[in-house]
Amino acid sequence: MRNDDQVTSLFLLAFAIFFSIESLRLGMGTLREPGAGFIPFISSVLLGCLSICIFIIATLKKKASPGFGKDWKKGLWVLGGLLIYDLLLERLGFLISTFLFMILALLSFPPRRLASILLVSSLTVIISYLIFGVWLKVQLPKGILGI
């Protein structure tokens, strides 16, 4: 019996291996002076480890996951949201674009309580801004807010 979680985890593992090899070609640098491939490598290794965990869990489960079924529309909804996010990121800026994308993405999954969606979207924007904009000093698109 084919388990969709197993197939997906193997695809993600191949994806992680490919990107970890490519990030090594960019150069790792050191912890004090990370190279261009440092963060992609760490991200790829993390993705690879998580995909292995998903594969093991899916293999040990007796019942196969139901697969996408009717939920493929949710995936298209989020993918469309990502495309719009990409188009609006420079115009609206990181904070507004990310907040709106998170609302759109969270509307795709139950429960759909507006208070929860707004709270999670706000926390995502604040935490990611603090990590990338303040702590790591990454130049994020400022957009109309100028922040």
pLDDT in tens, the chain (147 residues): 457 788 889 999 999 999 999 888 888 887 778 788 888 889 999 999 999 999 999 888 866 555 555 566 777 887 888 899 999 988 999 999 999 999 988 888 777 788 889 999 999 999 999 988 888 888 888 888 776
99, 129: one domain: yes
Residue 54 lies in a domain: yes
The residue among 144, 143, 147, 117 whose CA lies nearest residue 129 is 147
Q: Can you give the pTM of this predicted structure?
A: 0.61
Range of the domain at 126: 70-135
> What is the spatial distance between Cα 81 and Cα 68, in angstroms, rounded to a whole number?
19
Residue 108 lies in a domain: yes
Q: What is the pLDDT, as a whole number, of residue 67?
A: 55
